[in-house]
Amino acid sequence: MMKSKNWKLITLPFSKQNPITVQVLGVCSCLAVTAQLKPAVVMALSVTVVVALANLIISLLRKTIPPRIRIIVQLVVVSMLVVLVDQVLKAYMYDVSKQLSVFVGLIITNCIVMGRLEAFAMSNPPLPSLMDGIGNGLGYSVVLVTLGFVRELFGSGTLWGYPVMEKLGLYNIGYENNGLMIMPPMALILVGIIIWIHRTRNQDLQEQ
Amino acid sequence: MEYINIFIKSVFVDNMIFAFFLGMCSYLAVSKTVKTSAGLGIAVTFVLLITVPVNYLINKYLLSPGALAWLSPRLAEVDLSFLSLIMFIAVIAAIVQIVEMVIERFSPALYNSLGIFLPLIAVNCAVLSGSLFMQERGYANIGEATCFALGSGVGWFLAIVAIAAIREKLRYSAIPPALRGVGITFIITGLMGLAFMSFMGVKL
């Protein structure tokens, strides 16, 4: 059932084809929602669901979409999915949905979604497209969760709201939270460092 | 006076790129030379300046709770705000298409210099978020919304031109090979963001 080719579509975006560090797509949302772990995980899941389903739907429709109006068709499909995700979040996780504010809506214009639709779903059958969507969503999630983990742990000393640093007793021996970590610019610098490490290990990705 | 405050605030304090990281994709992809990035900056400002006021009217008279009361009192309880995402993106896609055709008809020179960027603006997050922030912050009238749109556009323009100028200079620096290109651009944007944070406490 799971051919090795399909499996590769899922694993490739983790490293060699990572949407954020290699393709540089969908950066906006990855920076703004990662000050804490919880919104980062919720955002990562929402994007994965939207990319996977949008890829599947567009791939099923790919032979009937006239090429001239394909952008509008794609936007309509994606925004329908995003509205669904937005309403589900509002219904079941109202506090997180407030924290994410406009960024759930901005999944519509998330370049990962449009980029995968254009580059993959328009020219491939449904099953590989679904796999490609899941893979890219998870590749995006890896970066998002890493950022959320580092920033919450060092910025506010908690993980998922649980006071890790306090329980370890680090404050008693003079440990202080690094306020810079929660600030937005630090997310950019952290992504820069992730790219640096990633490209040092994968020399073939380096730019001239 | 209120208009100037909103304008200055959206250029510096709430800068689309340095405070919210919106429109980063094109900001990273197109900022290789000052000339092209200035072209894209002008195009984004222009599209924001048209779409935000249009979406303001749509939000006020069609979508927000009780907005349909001007049609008939029976519709006063209708709340269509769940449709706002689809409406906004449809308006933006349509207006970008119209702007493209108008520019092509009346100014082929400008059209050729913007060419590839124009259709891409429809999926620039800075444009959609302009409309979403306008809805979330609830500006009092269309003038305020327009000032906000102009300010956001100018702020985005300044940011992309500044980073393009820095990247032109960076070509002559010795950067570690793994950091070249995207990596160093991220870090510099972070540092510029820190600099822009000094505007944060400014009360206007």
* Each residue's pLDDT tens digit, B84-138: 878 888 888 888 878 778 878 887 877 776 656 676 677 777 888 888 888 888 8
Distance from CA of A142 to the nearest CA of B (A): 18
**CB-based contact B89 A86, cutoff 8 Å:** no
Given the cut 0.90, state whether the ipTM is greater than it: no
Sequential DSSP letters for B187-203: HHHHHHHHHHGGGTT--
Distance from CA of B1 to the nearest CA of A (A): 28
Interface of B with A in 128-157 (CB under 8 A): 128-129, 132-133, 136
CB-based contact B186:B179 (threshold 8 Å) = no
Cα(B55)–Cα(B147) distance, rounded to whole angstroms? 14
Cα(A64)–Cα(A58) distance, rounded to whole angstroms? 10
And the tokens for B127? 């444009």
Can you list the residues of chain A whose pLDDT is less than 70?
1-3, 208
Residue A181 is given by DSSP the state G
Q: Is B76 on the interface with A (CB under 8 A)?
A: no
**CB-based contact B177 A206, cutoff 8 Å:** yes
**B63-73 residues labelled b (16+ CB within 10 A) or e (exposed):** bbeebbeeeee
Chain B partners within 8 Å of A104 (Cβ): none
Nearest CA in chain A to B28: A24
Residue A159: beta bridge partners?
A162
Nearest CA in chain B to A33: B20
Query: Would you state the pLDDT for residue A163?
Result: 83
Of A26, A114, A192, the CB nearest to B183: A192
Query: Would you state the pLDDT for residue B176?
Result: 84
Chain mean pLDDT for chain B = 83
Please count the other Cβ atoms lying within 10 Å of the Cβ belonging to residue A82: 26
Chain mean pLDDT for chain A = 83
Query: Would you state the pLDDT for residue A208?
Result: 63
Query: Would you state the pLDDT for residue A155?
Result: 84
Count of CA atoms in the C-beta half-sphere (13 A) of A184: 24
Q: What is the pLDDT of residues A67-95, one digit of tens each?
A: 777 777 888 888 889 888 988 988 888 88
- Whether the pLDDT of residue B153 is over 90: the answer is yes
CB-based contact B8:B204 (threshold 8 Å) = yes
**CB-based contact B25 A25, cutoff 8 Å:** yes
The share of chain B scoring above pLDDT 70, in percent, equals 94
Cα(A57)–Cα(A80) distance, rounded to whole angstroms? 11
A18, A27, A68: best to mutate for the B interface, most B CBs within 10 A = A27
Amino acid at B167: R
Residue A162 is given by DSSP the state B
- Whether the pLDDT of residue B10 is over 70: the answer is yes
Of A82, A106, A195, the CB nearest to B125: A106
Please count the other Cβ atoms lying within 10 Å of the Cβ belonging to residue A161: 10
And the tokens for A110? 């998330």
Query: Would you state the pLDDT for residue A1?
Result: 47
Cα(B37)–Cα(B32) distance, rounded to whole angstroms? 8
Nearest CA in chain B to A76: B86
Query: Would you state the pLDDT for residue B117?
Result: 65
